[in-house]
Structure 1
Amino acid sequence: MHALAATVVNTLVRAEDKAPEDKDVVAGWTAFWIFIGLIVAVVVIGIALTRSLRTAQKAKDAGVYGDGTSADATDADRTE
């Protein structure tokens, strides 16, 4: 009984399975604009990350985080 059902289903699937022609398969304009949008999003995130890292480096150099003097003191203790 199971073999008969499997055979019937397999026959129906093969009858319904029609592949599209090569000329009918296209990405379309929607996919193009999504791709462009993703590129723009990556660029914006990269710019924001660069600005944030520059700000953090300037703050570190200015001693805002407080590790500039303690790190120097720790290094001086190790060399002595």
Structure 2
Amino acid sequence: MLTLLITAANEGPAPEDVKAGWVALIIFLLLALAVAFLGWSLVRQLRKAQAAKDAGAYGDEPVAEAGEPANGDSPTSV
């Protein structure tokens, strides 16, 4: 029984029986499109989370904008 399985696995289909199919290409392209969409969505969510963190939504100190002091005091000149 084992030798029958080994010989069947070694033979495989004939080269003329195997051809590329359009269905497999379409499935592959749809999977690639899904991965691209998930990557785009992940980047969007990470940007939103970073903006919320910078605004102090998670209990951190809000990040100051460029040219604005972090603690609300007026800038001092040295």
Superposition TM-score, scaled by structure 2 size: 0.60
> Size of the alignment, in residue pairs?
58
Q: Tell me the residue number matched to 1:65.
A: 58
Alignment partners' CA distance in 1, 2:55 and 2:12:
65
Alignment partners' CA distance in 2, 1:68 and 1:29:
55
Alignment of 1:1-80 (within 5 A): 19-68=12-61
Alignment partners' CA distance in 2, 1:22 and 1:68:
66
Spell out structure 1 runs of 4+ moving beyond 6 A: none
Greater percentage in helix: 1
Mark the structure with the bigger radius of gyration: 1
Q: Identify unmatched segments of 5+ residues in structure 1.
A: 1-5, 70-80
Once the two structures are superposed, what CA deviation does each residue of 1:11-61 show, in whole Å capped at 9, x if it has no partner? xx6xxx675320221231111100000000000000000000000001100
Alignment partners' CA distance in 2, 1:26 and 1:68:
61
Opposite residue 50 of structure 1, the aligned amino acid is: V
Q: Identify unmatched segments of 5+ residues in structure 2.
A: 63-78
Superposition TM-score, scaled by structure 1 size: 0.58
